[in-house]
Structure 1
Amino acid sequence: MKSIITLIRETLKIFVIFVACTLLFYFGLRAMHAEYENYHRYDPPEGRAIKVFNNNEGQDIIDRMSIFFRLGE
């Protein structure tokens, strides 16, 4: 009888630790999401930024696909 109570107690301890770690991980992810949710990655550059990509409208799709596969753009 004593071993059954010990087994139940140990199982309950492991369950409580698992739930606590899961909640800590969940709320940590929520906090990181809230921190970076309003982070604007695509704001226009400031200062002396220049455009480095020239989009040629005259290029056909075969040339663009060739560049894509060669360079991995």
Structure 2
Amino acid sequence: MKVLKSFAEAVWVFLLFMGCTLIFYYGILWVSSGYQDYHRYDEPSGRATKVFQVEEPINLEPSLWRLQLFLNHGE
């Protein structure tokens, strides 16, 4: 009788775990479907203001030029 009760509890925990896993999985699918067609690198529409201005790099040796590029652009 005790073995049967332990088995029933194990099945209950397994079913609870699988149910929560499926809810989480389909929740993630639902959230990601909203961002599927979102193109964040498209040019903005409306009254967008340009906030970045490209400047010509100063004549530096290549390693310092890469450092300047990294600091300016965050590459």
TM-score, structure 1 as length reference:
0.74
Give unmatched runs, 5+ long, in structure 1. none
1:19-58 correspondence to structure 2 within 5 Å: 19-58=18-57
Residue 65 in structure 1 maps to residue 67 in structure 2: yes
Give unmatched runs, 5+ long, in structure 2. none
C-alpha distance in structure 1 between counterparts of 2:66 and 2:23, whole Å: 47
SS at match of 1:42: coil
Residue 11 in structure 1 maps to residue 10 in structure 2: yes
TM-score, structure 2 as length reference:
0.72
Identical positions, percent? 35
Q: What is the alpha-carbon root mean square deviation over aligned residues?
A: 2.4
Q: May I ask how many residue pairs the two structures share in their alignment?
A: 71
C-alpha distance in structure 2 between counterparts of 1:22 and 1:65, whole Å: 46
Greater RCO, CA 8 A, separation 6+? 2
Higher alpha-carbon deviation: 59-68 or 16-25:
59-68
SS at match of 1:26: helix
